Amino acid sequence: MSERQIQLEVLRYNPETDSAPRFQTYAVPCLNEWVVLDALNYVKENLDPTLSYRWSCHMAVCGSCGMMINGEPKLGCKAFIHEYGDSIRVEPLAHFPIERDLVTVVEDFIAKLASVKPYLIPKEDKPVSAGEFKQTPAELMKFKQYTLCINCMLCYAACPQYGLVPEFVGPAALALAHRYNQDSRDGGRDQRQEVVASDEGVWECSFVGACSEVCPKHVDPAGALQQIKVASTIDWYKEHLMPWVKK
Amino acid sequence: MGEEMSRKPYVREISKTTWFLRQPRYMRYMAREVTCIFIFAYTFLLICALGSLADGPDAFQEFLNSLRSPWGVLFNLAVLVVTAYHSLSWFVVTPQAMPIQRGEEFVPGNIIVNAHYGAWAVVSLIILIWGM
């Protein structure tokens, strides 16, 4: 297995001693098969145990190790060393406050995610004895891609709108709202619309499309947001021009 | 039980004026957005055309002559190029905004995009023939 030395530049911030973040460079002997997360683990285990970052699964499922790698939002576990030169710059996810080193404050995202009610709200209560809610493969296809979201927040780090207007509900939360709105078993769209179709909801999106470009799971949040805009616009016309037509 | 940790999150400020220089994809987005200035300018030109038409045949002829001046031709050419870029940049993203599902599959995006190109060519052809 080939090995090469890389310079890993990591943005460090210690809230107890630092007034601002600063870069620290580590010389890391890397195997070519490594990902950036492996290099960080090497630093933590061999060079500097004070380095803080989040990670868990190491297989692009948990969504914990999102970070800026050479300025691009990436999962540390999916960014292969061999795709980079000898110097790699690692920073915390953009647009989120830094808690410590590569650890960001994510409360804002969690609150926004909860605000769109990202769970099934059945159209009507059904006793368990009435059996399962059935769904055809075609009905499943309407929303299947959105179920792949792992809440890694790369899309928020890519979205310039979220960076400039922090009130924006943002790509992942709105895409998940769309996922449940599109589900044939769900009847909660009206409850979600108050947040989803508000000024801070889809209408804050100007379709930069960066969210979909960086998504490590190939979800298309940008598409979901535009589809919500189309549906919400149709709602508006129905309500104002054809009030006799039911939604 | 540990004591409450003191927190001092650091917020990185984003420049309101130069943020789009950070990434080529942001610059591509801004290029698309900037095209609307040309669309606005051309809309303004059409309103001027209506105004000159209301002022009588002489005023309208004068307006038409101004369009044939080198600056008029240059402006129209620039608007044509920029508007084409504006339209194409929206054609490309249409499959995301308006996907078409047939049974268990989605119609491939390139078919939707090509349908737009086709419609564009047909409409352009009709206008060209009609205008001749």
pLDDT value for A246: 63
Contact A63, A152 (CB under 8 A): yes
Give the nearest partner residue to A230 out of B7, B14, B97, using CB atoms. B97
Question: Mean per-residue pLDDT for A163-173?
Answer: 97
- How, if at all, do strands A87-91 and A3-12 pair? parallel
Please tell me the distance in Å from B27's CA to the nearest CA on chain A: 10
Inter-chain touch B23–A210, beta carbons under 8 Å: yes
A3-104 against A107-241: fold identical = no
B52: left (phi over 0), alpha (psi -120 to 50) or beta: alpha
- Please give the pLDDT value at position B65: 95
Give A174-213 pLDDT, tens digit per residue.
Answer: 999 999 999 999 999 999 999 999 999 999 999 999 999 9
CATH, domain range A107-241: 1.10.1060.10
Q: Which CATH architecture has domain A3-104?
A: Roll (3.10)
Reply yes or no on whether the pLDDT at B50 is more than 70: yes
Chain A residues with beta carbon closer than 8 angstroms to that of B97:
207, 223, 226-227, 229-230
| Closest CB to A105 among B9, B93, B99 | B9
Average pLDDT over residues B9-33: 95
Which amino acid makes up residue A37? L
**What confidence tier does B131 reach under pLDDT thresholds 50, 70, 90?**
confident
Q: How confident is the model at residue B83 (pLDDT cuts 50, 70, 90)?
A: very high
CB atoms A227 and B10 under 8 Å = no
Residues of B in contact with A11 (CB under 8 A): none
What's the pLDDT band for B3 if we cut at 50, 70, 90? Answer: low
Q: Evaluate whether B7 touches A99 at the Cβ level (below 8 Å).
A: yes
pLDDT in tens, A60-110: 999 999 999 999 999 999 999 999 999 999 999 999 999 999 999 999 999
State both tokens at A178.
């769309």
- On whether residue B36 sits in a domain, the answer given is yes
Domain extent listing, chain A: 3-104, 107-241
Task: Give the CATH number of the domain where residue B113 resides.
Answer: 1.20.1300.10
Beta strand extents in A92-237 (DSSP E only):
98-100, 103-104
Interface A:B, Cβ pairs < 8 A: 80
Residues sharing a CB contact under 8 Å with residue A123, sequence separation 6 or more, in sequence order:
A185, A186, A187
Collapsed DSSP state (helix, strand, coil) of residue B70: helix
- Has residue B52 got a pLDDT over 60? yes
Q: Is residue B87 part of a domain?
A: yes
> If you ran DSSP here, which 8-state letter would residue A134 be given?
-
A148, two tokens: 């792949």
B49: in domain: yes
* Helix residue spans in chain B (DSSP H): 24-54, 57-68, 70-97, 109-131
* DSSP symbol at A132: -
Select the residue from B4, B7, B10, B102 to test the A interface by mutation, using most A Cβ atoms within 10 A: B10
Per-residue pLDDT at A125 exceeds 90:
no
Residue B100 lies in a domain: yes
Q: What is d(CA B16, CA B14) in angstroms, rounded to the nearest whole number?
A: 6
* Interatomic CA distance for residues B61 and B5, integer angstroms: 78
Closest CA to A11 of A74, A105, A103: A103
Contact criterion met (CB below 8 Å) for B22 and A159: no
Which residues in chain B have their CB less than 8 angstroms from residue A141's CB? 101, 104-106
User: In chain A, which residue's Cα lies nearest the Cα of B26?
Assistant: A208
pLDDT for the residue B4 = 64
CA A114 to chain centre: 14
CA-CA distance, A156 to A175, in Å (whole number)?
Answer: 12
Token pair in block for residue A182? 């599109």
The number of folded domains in chain B is 1
Q: Is residue B48 part of a domain?
A: yes
Hunting for tokens 């920029």 — which residue is that? B82
**Domain carrying residue B25:** 20-131
Residue B10 lies in a domain: no
CA separation, residue A92 to residues A28, A75, A158 (Å): 19, 11, 12
Alpha carbon distance, N-terminus to C-terminus of chain B: 85
Strands A22-31 and A66-69: unpaired
Minimal C-alpha gap between B115 and chain A (Å): 19
Query: Do the bridges between strand A87-91 and strand A66-69 make them parallel or antiparallel, or are there none, so unpaired?
Result: antiparallel
Q: If we measure between CA atoms, which residue out of A84, A76, A85 comes closest to residue A44?
A: A76
- Does any domain span residue B5? no
Q: Integer distance in angstroms from the first to the last C-alpha of chain A?
A: 62
